[in-house]
């Protein structure tokens, strides 16, 4: 992250329209620095900055911002300038930005662009952002199988500027179907007259354009590739997904999982740009659902009301006990959801996972139960201490078991296991925890 001093320096220079100083700074700042600085400037400052910076710097900067932010900036510009800037951004990033514009603005800007570049964007627009098609770029290098290695290198020299990566070259048949791939280092390290058809790796890994972006990212990562070809249902090469997209994809997917685990719907946008109404909408649904589920606790307490009035000391431990159930469940569920998410366990593992978690729950229940015996005994006598201890033991095992098996089942029936969030599991074991508590109290105290 850029520190405050640099930011203040830039602000001061913008305020004084110090063109040379800003351009000098711009040359030293990397793309990620801009992505950090621009959202912290106000509208007037951004407008001034855009006047000062050369177009090449602006397009680099736009490519690094979140698409929403870049679209907001483009909308403040003249159509022609916006079109010129978009032409200089990688088509996959440019498409994400255009997707955020109103369809009217988008059409105007696309009309003003060079036809070839506008066509690339129009081709990418239909693919949802979170699919392989939405992540791919059409800027790949393709050749026919009968071209010689040295001619291929000569061709690479011509297209190096345009292509997203020249480390892989794709070999296509006349119908644009994918035959094979070869890497720049194979080209360079071979006899110049070899036809590329002899050099290529035939039938390389590929994904369908409709495939989930996470599937594509995992294929790239698991096979240590620099780029992955994306094909249509006729096996024609549409584009490639490159390594530099992977970090974004993995980060996006982890963020979604984390937000779900926290008990809300994923924001699907950076926190910074999420407005208060968006935050409320993403959160309130789950909260209302959990509120309704939480009403069960009230029912349990109503049905045991006479017992609670008879032994008021029982009330004192209610929040503590439901809290423990929730905490234990949250630990187990979170660990399991992540293990499922990265493909480490699935439903076939349910057996040993359950055994492992029940054993862990038993040991933890013994430790916490002892603590509960001490505290309950000191506060309200040995009998209450025993009730608290036994409840903690049973609840810990129960909560571990539910939290272990629920994410596996959800995944099996096609749901995202991350909906078993900490709040979800806590709410789920609240009512059952009370039931266990008050039942054990009845048995131990004989106060039926």
Residues 244-303 binding a second copy (CB under 8 A) are 244, 246-247, 250-251, 254-255, 257-259, 261-264, 267, 270-272, 276-277, 279-280, 283-284, 286-288, 290-291, 294-295, 297-298, 301-302
Q: How far is the CB of 119 from a second copy (least distance, A)?
A: 25
The 168-172 sheet, strands edge to edge: 142-143, 168-172, 178-183, 201-202
Point out which residues pair with 241 in neighbouring strands: 228
Q: Kindly state whether residue 399 participates in binding a second copy, applying the rule CB under 8 A.
A: no
Point out which residues pair with 170 in neighbouring strands: 142, 181
Q: What character string, x for contact with a second copy (CB under 8 A) and - otherwise, covers 46-85?
A: ----------------------------------------
Of residues 399, 392, 398, 263, the one with CA closest to residue 331: 399
Of residues 388, 394, 395, the one with CA closest to residue 372: 388
Residue closer to a second copy (CB basis): 12 or 370 = 370
Q: What character string, x for contact with a second copy (CB under 8 A) and - otherwise, covers 7-36?
A: -----------------------xxx--xx
Point out which residues pair with 240 in neighbouring strands: 137, 229
**Using CB under 8 A, which of 22, 86, 110, 217 touches a second copy?**
217
**Using CB under 8 A, which of 6, 41, 112, 320 touches a second copy?**
320
> Read out DSSP for 238-258?
EEEEEHHHHHHHHHHHHHHHH
Q: How far is the CB of 419 from a second copy (least distance, A)?
A: 13
Q: What character string, x for contact with a second copy (CB under 8 A) and - otherwise, covers 138-157?
A: ---------------x--xx
Q: How far is the CB of 301 from a second copy (least distance, A)?
A: 5
Q: Kindly state whether residue 207 participates in binding a second copy, applying the rule CB under 8 A.
A: no
Q: Kindly state whether residue 203 participates in binding a second copy, applying the rule CB under 8 A.
A: no
Residue closer to a second copy (CB basis): 348 or 412 = 348
**Using CB under 8 A, which of 224, 233, 351, 446 touches a second copy?**
224
Q: Kindly state whether residue 426 participates in binding a second copy, applying the rule CB under 8 A.
A: yes
Question: Segment contacting a second copy (CB under 8 A): 43-51, 75-83, 95-103, 368-376?
Answer: 368-376
Q: Kindly state whether residue 4 participates in binding a second copy, applying the rule CB under 8 A.
A: yes
Q: 3-class SS at 227?
A: strand
Q: Do residues 273 and 66 make contact, with C-beta atoms less than 8 angstroms apart?
A: yes
Residue closer to a second copy (CB basis): 119 or 163 = 163
Tokens representing residue 389 in the block: 């201890």
**Using CB under 8 A, which of 91, 134, 138, 326 touches a second copy?**
326
Q: Kindly state whether residue 447 participates in binding a second copy, applying the rule CB under 8 A.
A: no
Of residues 81, 108, 110, 78, the one with CA closest to residue 94: 110
**How do strand 237-242 and strand 142-143 relate by DSSP bridges?**
unpaired
Q: Kindly state whether residue 201 participates in binding a second copy, applying the rule CB under 8 A.
A: no
Question: Segment contacting a second copy (CB under 8 A): 43-51, 96-104, 172-180, 314-322?
Answer: 314-322
Cα–Cα distance for residue pair 423/304, rounded to 1 Å: 25
Q: How far is the CB of 423 from a second copy (least distance, A)?
A: 4
Cα–Cα distance for residue pair 56/88, rounded to 1 Å: 7
Q: How far is the CB of 445 from a second copy (least distance, A)?
A: 17
Q: How far is the CB of 116 from a second copy (least distance, A)?
A: 23
Q: Do residues 223 and 201 make contact, with C-beta atoms less than 8 angstroms apart?
A: no
Rg of the chain over Cα atoms, rounded to whole angstroms, equals: 30
* Sequence-distant (≥ 6) Cβ neighbours of residue 86 within 8 angstroms: 59, 74, 94, 97, 98, 109, 113, 117, 121
First vs last C-alpha separation in the chain: 63
Chain positions 327 to 366 lying near a second copy, rule: CB under 8 A, are 327-328, 330-331, 333-339, 342-346, 348, 356-357, 359-360, 363-364
Of residues 308, 310, 326, 349, the one with CA closest to residue 420: 326
């Amino acid at each position: 992250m850029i520190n405050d001093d640099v930011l203040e320096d830039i602000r001061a220079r913008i305020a004084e329209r110090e063109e040379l100083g800003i351009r000098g700074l711009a040359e030293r700042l990397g793309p990620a620095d801009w992505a950090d600085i621009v959202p912290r400037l106000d509208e007037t400052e951004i407008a001034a900055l855009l006047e000062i910076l050369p177009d090449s710097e602006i397009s680099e900067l736009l490519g690094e911002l979140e698409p929403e932010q870049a679209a907001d900036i483009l909308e403040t510009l003249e159509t022609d300038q916006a079109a010129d800037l978009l032409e200089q951004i990688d088509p996959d990033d440019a498409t994400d930005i255009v997707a955020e514009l109103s369809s009217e603005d988008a059409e105007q800007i696309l009309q003003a662009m060079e036809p070839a570049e506008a066509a690339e964007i129009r081709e990418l627009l239909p693919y949802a952002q979170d699919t392989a098609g939405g992540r791919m770029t059409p800027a790949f290098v393709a050749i026919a199988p009968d071209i010689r290695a040295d001619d291929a290198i000569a061709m690479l020299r011509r297209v190096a500027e345009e292509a997203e990566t020249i480390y892989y070259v794709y070999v296509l048949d006349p119908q644009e179907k994918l035959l094979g791939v070869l890497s720049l280092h194979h080209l360079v390290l071979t006899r110049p007259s070899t036809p590329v058809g002899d050099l290529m790796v035939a039938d390389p890994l590929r994904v369908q354009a409709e495939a989930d972006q996470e599937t594509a990212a995992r294929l790239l990562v698991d096979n240590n590739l620099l780029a992955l070809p994306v094909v249509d249902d006729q096996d024609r090469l549409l584009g490639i997904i490159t390594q530099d997209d992977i970090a974004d994809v993995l980060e996006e997917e982890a963020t979604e999982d984390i937000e779900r685990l926290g008990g809300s719907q994923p924001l699907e946008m950076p926190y910074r740009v999420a407005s208060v109404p968006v935050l409320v909408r993403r959160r309130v649904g789950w909260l209302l659902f959990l509120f309704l589920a939480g009403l069960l606790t009230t029912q349990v307490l109503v049905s045991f009301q006479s017992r609670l009035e008879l032994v008021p000391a029982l009330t004192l431990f209610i929040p503590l006990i439901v809290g423990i159930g929730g905490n234990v469940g949250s630990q187990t569920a979170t660990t399991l959801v992540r293990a499922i998410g990265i493909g480490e366990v699935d439903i076939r593992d349910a057996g040993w996972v359950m055994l492992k978690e029940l054993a862990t729950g038993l040991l933890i229940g013994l430790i916490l139960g002892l603590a509960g015996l001490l505290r309950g005994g000191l506060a309200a006598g040995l009998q209450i201490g025993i009730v608290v201890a036994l409840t903690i033991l049973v609840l810990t095992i129960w909560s571990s078991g539910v939290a272990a098996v629920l994410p596996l089942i959800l995944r099996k029936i096609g749901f995202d296991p991350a909906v078993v969030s900490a709040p979800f599991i806590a709410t789920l074991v609240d009512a059952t925890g009370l039931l266990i508590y008050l039942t054990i109290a009845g048995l131990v105290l004989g106060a039926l």
